[in-house]
Structure 1
Amino acid sequence: MREPLLPLPPALDQLLVIRRWLELTLARVDEKITVVRAAEEERARRRPLPEPPDWWMEYGIGAIRRPERVHTGVCRMTSRGRAATRESVLEVLRTMPSVIACPLCRPDSELGLLES
């Protein structure tokens, strides 16, 4: 058994006092942890969420990651992909027939591709 850093007194009443002091100190630390966590959560709630991108490009899985689907920026049907520009989304939809527009958020309609 390893020897404690500070020698403890041999008397039971002294050990009980030390134990009670440690309990009270731990309770103070727990209270402070609660206050700090609440403050951090409040700060996180007040922090504005970042603006979603206008357009989102979803890519396939694998070594050759080609665009598979395009979305409006607010569509959350996928988390696999990255923000895209209007021009890049238009180009991909016009030049790559295998890429589809998300049937839920309808970026092709937003881009005016269905009107012609």
Structure 2
Amino acid sequence: MKTFTILDIISSRNAILHSKGMKVYEEVASSTAPCEDIVLDFNGICSLTTAFLHPAIGKLVTRNNGREQHIHIKNMDQEDIDTLVAEVIERAKSPEKRRIASEQVASLFED
């Protein structure tokens, strides 16, 4: 099982930006096969948002055909796992929820 240390990948203690989450996704996706067991180690991370987690974890769940059991999280507060990560996984497993969220975001930028 390969371990990916988030702090090493994003070079920041703040895991808040979507672009930083994409860096995590790209690193994991280019280094592993779909459904391969991995560990995401959040040691040293002090700030966390769903904007970061959607690409970092949500895209991995989608890549794994909705099977989150291959993604193991280490050094993250249980409360964040129970709320933020659970929300991200739920959305990743539901194409309808992803579509609705995308439409809501797009509507913010319409004239």
Q: TM-score range by the shorter chain?
A: under 0.3
In proportion to residue count, which structure has more helix?
Answer: 2
TM-score by length of 2: 0.26
TM, length-normalised to structure 1: 0.26
Greater RCO, 1 or 2 (C-alpha within 8 Å, sep 6+): 2
State which structure, 1 or 2, has the greater radius of gyration over its C-alpha atoms: 1
